[in-house]
Amino acid sequence: MAENDTNTTGCTLALLVEEVSQRTALLTDTERLEFVGSELTSVDRALSHIQAEGLAQGPTFCEWGSGLGGVCGVASLNGFRPLGIEIQRDFVESARALAKKLDLSMEFAEGTFLLPGDEDLAETMNFHMKLTFDRGAWDALDLAPADCDVIFAYPWPGEESIVDDAFARHASPGALLLTFHDFDRVLVQQKQNDPQGLRTLDWV
């Protein structure tokens, strides 16, 4: 989507990027340790590619670790139904305020994307923050991982495998996993019929 394209709300990608940038500048030093945002123009490029190629099975988009809501905003501009799960309450409130200010249809829930029973996925890994495992955020969204057509995440370095493994365990065959990586690249993977199978479709 070009930066001067608009959806029915009148919001543009440029306006969204500027609003998220302003909100990021207001974060406290402690909050900055917990938040690293994806490059929104790169995410827009990836989602535009997915829509142009018809790769998504449907419109339901869920971000695992939705931060200030910028990626969900990009998803909304690209015609998806965005939902975000975020463990930091202040970020959830900021994302909801962003949705209201820009009149974007997106919903956010406080909590974790990891479900009870996923503890084994984290047994051999070290994480930048304590993990939790519960259904609260999914229940608040009236959603399950298997309901999502596209899942997006920006894993911290070394934490990529838990995102891949959780997606492979819970997503429906055909669903897409998008992960943001260094050099502003987005990896697009697809769940296969094999219960643990992921196939790389593209780097965008």
Domain containing residue 199: CATH number = 3.40.50.150
User: How many domains would you assign to the chain?
Assistant: 1
Task: Assess if residue 67 is contained within a domain.
Answer: yes
170 within a domain of the structure (yes/no):
yes
The range of the structural domain enclosing residue 153 comes to: 39-203
The low-confidence residues of the chain, meaning pLDDT below 70, are: 1-9, 124, 126-129, 195-196
| Predicted pLDDT of residue 129 | 65
Q: Give 174-187 pLDDT, tens digit per residue.
A: 999 999 998 899 99
Size (the chain), residues: 204
184-to-23, 30, 35, 145, 203 alpha-carbon distances in Å: 20, 24, 16, 26, 10
Asked whether residue 6 is domain-assigned, the answer is no
Helix spans in the chain (H): 13-25, 29-34, 40-53, 70-77, 89-102, 136-140, 160-170
Residue 24, in any domain of the structure: no
Q: Is 12 inside a domain boundary?
A: no
Judge whether 2 lies within some domain.
no
* 2, burial (CB in 10 Å: exposed 0-12, middle 13-18, buried 19+): exposed
Find the helix or strand (DSSP H, E) in which 201 lies: strand 198-203
Q: What is the pLDDT of residue 125?
A: 72
